[in-house]
């Protein structure tokens, strides 16, 4: 069974935080912390915090701003995380709400109704709750049929979910799958840590994958293959979870939000990602130089430069490997899907492309597609 991507959709949060705004708030927090702890800092029992800088952020990452669902709580130096209102059990949850928004846009692009969907995969770096599955709430809100389930492979959640969608269609368990990635990274990002406070942004991406023989969209991408790989690493880690209460651990301890060894991740993941893409293309009978466009994971512009250089031997152009992280920052699993969503309209029939994610796990997922 031939499988196609027949539509994508994007939910963009209402608020932007520029690097300037972020750094101003962070540095005010640092000044207050150091003043409040002046005696302990003097005595050497507490380490003074160092300020952040716009120049560092742009040079080290390529990020210029990020979208967030709620802004005031993040920039409030007495809080430094978003302020969300708890919703009742009978209300649509926030993750489902942004997923439904992106899903409706993907359905419209694919020329489908909610009732055409017979499987929903909600895949992202964190779920709002344990159960019922977000996917089942989204399924109901859209009037979709069949089944839904959640999955999480952090940064690679979308590409890994694409493979599950592709396999579901090939095996006959579904005909038309909605794959959706609500990433509310602002709620599990550590805004008080200058090493990572600039990294993430909120967004939601959605994609319709279906049997080629049912697709009516005038913008279709045939899936030629998908390939997944993982290799355990503690270099990106978040220990938040349902065991915390029983372990009597501090819910506000540093290990309960995102943390990473950014340098190590950079060094270790680049060669793995490049080799993965090259191997996958080879298996399908292609060379990297035959690829018209790479929609890569959006964590760091330098990282993508290295990956492309390893693959094709020259520096990437915006045409070969478009970047969206300057405007969206790292959106965990959604990054490569945003890149695909925003940068595929100019490609021609027969053009080859690779959607590839890499990150926490470590995990790498690639999907090779061809414009129909």
53 binds ligand CO8 (CB under 6 A): yes
Q: Which of 88, 105, 113, 221 is nearest to 166 (CA)?
A: 221
174 Cβ contact partners less than 8 Å away, ≥ 6 residues apart: 118, 119, 146, 147, 165, 168
CB 251 within 8 A of CB 339: no
Q: Kindly tell me which of 21 and 195 has the beta carbon lying closer to ligand CO8.
A: 195
Pairing outcome for strands 3-11 and 221-230:
antiparallel
- Which regions of 162-309 does DSSP assign to beta strands (E)? 176-183, 203-211, 221-230, 236-237, 259-260, 293-296
Q: At its nearest, how many Å lie between ligand CO8 and the CB of residue 137?
A: 21
Residues 86-145 that bind ligand CO8 (CB under 6 A): 125
Q: At its nearest, how many Å lie between ligand CO8 and the CB of residue 65?
A: 15
Residues 169-198 that bind ligand CO8 (CB under 6 A): 185, 188-189, 194-195, 198
Residues listed for the chain: 372
- Residue, CB closest to ligand CO8: 262
34 binds ligand CO8 (CB under 6 A): no
Return the number of other C-beta atoms located less than 10 Å from residue 39's C-beta.
Answer: 9
263 binds ligand CO8 (CB under 6 A): yes
Q: Per the omega criterion (within 30 degrees of 0), is the bond before 132 cis?
A: yes
Q: Kindly tell me which of 118 and 202 has the beta carbon lying closer to ligand CO8.
A: 202
Q: Is 113 helix (H, G, I), strand (E, B) or coil?
A: coil
Q: Kindly tell me which of 119 and 307 has the beta carbon lying closer to ligand CO8.
A: 307
Pattern of binders to ligand CO8 over 3-22, x per CB under 6 A?
A: --------------------
Q: At its nearest, how many Å lie between ligand CO8 and the CB of residue 316?
A: 16
Give the chain's radius of gyration (CA, Å).
21
Q: At its nearest, how many Å lie between ligand CO8 and the CB of residue 351?
A: 27
Catalytic positions, written as ranges: 155
CB 73 within 8 A of CB 25: no
Return the number of other C-beta atoms located less than 10 Å from residue 314's C-beta.
Answer: 10
Q: Is 268 left (phi over 0), alpha (psi -120 to 50) or beta?
A: alpha
Q: Kindly tell me which of 57 and 162 has the beta carbon lying closer to ligand CO8.
A: 57
Phi then psi for residue 294, to 5 deg, are -110, 120
**Among 48-56, 128-136, 211-219, 320-328, the segment contacting ligand CO8 (CB under 6 A):** 48-56
Residues 276-305 that bind ligand CO8 (CB under 6 A): 299-300, 303
Q: Kindly tell me which of 12 and 167 has the beta carbon lying closer to ligand CO8.
A: 12
User: Which one-letter DSSP state was computed for residue 91?
Assistant: S
**Among 140-148, 173-181, 259-267, 284-292, the segment contacting ligand CO8 (CB under 6 A):** 259-267
74 binds ligand CO8 (CB under 6 A): no
Considering only 259, 359, 364, 367, the residue that binds ligand CO8 (CB under 6 A) is 359
Total chain residues near ligand CO8 (CB under 6 A): 30
What tokens appear for 253 in the block? 């301890």
Q: Is 371 helix (H, G, I), strand (E, B) or coil?
A: strand
- Is the Cα torsion angle 306, 18, 126, 194 positive or negative in sign? positive
- Give residues in contact with ligand CO8 (CB under 6 A): 52-53, 56-57, 60-61, 125, 154-155, 185, 188-189, 194-195, 198, 200, 236, 258, 260, 262-263, 265-266, 299-300, 303, 330, 332, 359-360
């Amino acid at each position: 069974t031939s499988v196609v991507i027949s539509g994508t959709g994007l939910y963009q949060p209402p608020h932007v935080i520029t690097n300037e705004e972020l750094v101003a708030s962070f540095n005010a927090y640092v000044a207050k912390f150091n003043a409040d702890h002046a005696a302990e800092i003097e005595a050497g029992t507490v380490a003074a915090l160092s300020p952040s800088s716009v120049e560092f952020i742009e040079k080290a990452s390529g990020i210029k701003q990020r979208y967030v669902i709620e802004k005031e709580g993040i920039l409030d130096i007495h809080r430094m995380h978003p302020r969300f209102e708890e919703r009742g059990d009978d209300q649509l949850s926030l993750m489902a709400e942004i997923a439904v928004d992106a899903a409706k846009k993907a359905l419209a692009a694919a020329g489908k109704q909610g009732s055409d969907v017979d499987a929903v995969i909600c895949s992202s770096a964190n779920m709002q709750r344990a159960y019922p599955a977000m996917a089942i709430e989204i399924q109901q809100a859209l009037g979709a049929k069949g089944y839904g389930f959640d999955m999480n492979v952090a940064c690679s959640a979308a590409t890994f979910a694409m493979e599950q969608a592709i396999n579901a269609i090939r095996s006959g368990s579904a005909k038309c799958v909605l794959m959706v990635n609500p990433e509310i990274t602002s709620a599990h990002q550590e805004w008080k840590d200058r090493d990572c406070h600039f990294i993430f942004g909120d967004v939601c991406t959605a994609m319709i994958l279906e049997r080629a023989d049912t697709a009516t969209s005038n913008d279709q991408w045939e899936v030629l293959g998908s390939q997944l790989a993982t290799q355990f690493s503690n270099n990106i880690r978040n220990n938040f979870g349902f065991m915390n209460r029983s372990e009597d651990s501090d819910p506000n301890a540093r290990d309960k939000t995102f943390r990473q060894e950014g340098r190590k991740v950079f060094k270790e993941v680049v060669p793995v990602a490049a080799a993965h893409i090259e191997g996958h293309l080879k298996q399908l009978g292609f060379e990297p130089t035959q690829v018209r466009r790479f929609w890569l994971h959006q964590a760091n512009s330098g990282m993508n430069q290295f990956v492309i250089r390893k693959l094709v031997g020259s520096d990437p152009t915006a045409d070969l490997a478009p970047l969206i992280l300057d405007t969206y920052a790292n959106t965990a699993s959604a990054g490569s899907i945003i890149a695909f969503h925003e940068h595929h309209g100019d490609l021609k029939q027969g053009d080859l492309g690779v959607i590839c994610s890499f990150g926490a796990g470590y995990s790498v997922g690639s999907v090779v597609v061809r414009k129909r």
